[in-house]
Amino acid sequence: MDAMSLILGLESSCDETAAALVTSDRQILAHKLAGQEDAHRPYGGVVPEIAARAHVEVLAPLVEAALAEAGVTLAEVDAIAATAGPGLIGGVMVGLMTGKALALAAGKPLVAVNHLEGHALSPRLADATLDFPYLLLLVSGGHCQLLLVEGVGRYRRLATTIDDAAGEAFDKTAKLLRLGFPGGPAVERAAALGDPRAVPLPRPLVGSGEPHFSFAGLKSAVARAANDYSPEDLAASFQQAVVDCLVDRTRRALAGIAPTALVVAGGVAANKAVRAALEALAAEHGLRFVAPPLWLCTDNAAMIAWAGAERFAAGWTDPLDIPPRPRWPLDPDAEQVRGAGVKA
């Protein structure tokens, strides 16, 4: 049995600044998070420059607060894990540079974590019994992918989006329907008051022989119907269409593999309709269904610390000159698919 290690995790790749302390035996000693919703709300979306400046202001105090809450000092930390991409480059630079500075000052190893790997492994932080390989539906604001998670650092991409990410579609729909920001939760709230069968909307690529996702046509169809239906009915019908797409594409992927479980992660996994439909799909296949708790689905630093813990246990650390990366696919062998959902 390996000795227990303590990892400090940093996250700053989009619009959440976060620091967390997590142990290799899955204790979350502290997780601190500062959202930036108020700063971005006037623009109806995340403004990269504003995001980067906000990360600079709050990351160091969050690290201090996390250490205080956990009752540990930097000297007691075994490694520092920081998101090194993909994401908005200004924010990624803030977090990675902070991680490097702390690693250098405290004489600790640095683990550069792929943000997507943070999401991909987060279900194993919440559930010690989740074994490889599992099929992961990773649905966030920047990504919509089906990945066979074969081990730490071993991800086979089975499908991705050819245009928008699912969360991006939620965000754009919320903006179009003037439901508020951030978009996903706003659409979910409005959808609860509407009829999912009210508006006839397309299900792009459903039933198609190709494995990928597409949401751009759905978003345009919502725009065309916007004047003829209530926002609640539009939101409910949109959400149902997204759910149908996610389920159909995941069912297709399941046909060719034998995973231990169906797992969902990423911000859109916080959506209760999405979770319920995937749970039913897993049951249909006699598979375990695993979804991290809601707070662990959206961006946070505990998932980065945990991915850092898994990499550190494998003996993988990174040099201090490792560069921040705006794009960083989890499966380097996967073919490039046009437009594959990368945040602006």
Return residues touching ligand KG4 (CB under 6 A).
14, 140-142, 167-168, 170-171, 182-185, 188, 266-268, 270-271, 298-299
Element of type H or E holding 21 = strand 16-23
Q: How far is the CB of 247 from Zn ion (least distance, A)?
A: 21
Report the distance separating Cα 129 and Cα 8, nearest Å.
Answer: 23
CB of 270 to Zn ion, least distance (A): 11
122 binds Zn ion (CB under 5 A): no
Using DSSP, state whether 31 is helix, strand or coil: strand
Which residue's CB is nearer to ligand KG4, number 93 or number 270? 270
Determine if the peptide bond prior to 204 is cis (ω within 30°): no
Could you say which of Zn ion, ligand KG4, none residue 155 binds, taking C-beta under 5 to 8 angstroms by partner kind? none
Q: Which of 83/317 has CB closer to ligand KG4? A: 83
Residue 331 gets which letter from DSSP? -
Binding residue (CB under 5 A) for Zn ion from 12, 24, 114, 140: 140
What does 188 interact with, of Zn ion, ligand KG4, none (CB < 5 to 8 A by kind)?
Answer: ligand KG4
Sole window of 54-62, 70-78, 102-110, 135-143 interacting with Zn ion (rule: CB under 5 A)? 135-143
d(CA 242, CA 144): 11
- Nearest residue (CB) to ligand KG4, 27 versus 220: 220
From 299, 311, 312, 343, residue interacting with Zn ion (rule: CB under 5 A): 299
* Two tokens, residue 279: 């749970």
Residue with tokens 């249909």: 284
Q: What DSSP character marks residue 281?
A: H
Quick one: 108 or 143, whose CB is closer to ligand KG4? 143
Give me the least distance between CB of 169 and ligand KG4, in Å please.
8
What b/e string do you get for 99-118 counting C-beta neighbours within 10 Å, with b at 16 or more? bbebbeeeebbbbbbbbbbb
DSSP state of 2: P
Minimum CB distance to ligand KG4, residue 266 (Å): 5
Told to check if 300 binds Zn ion by CB under 5 A, we report: no
Contact 301, 98 (CB under 8 A): no
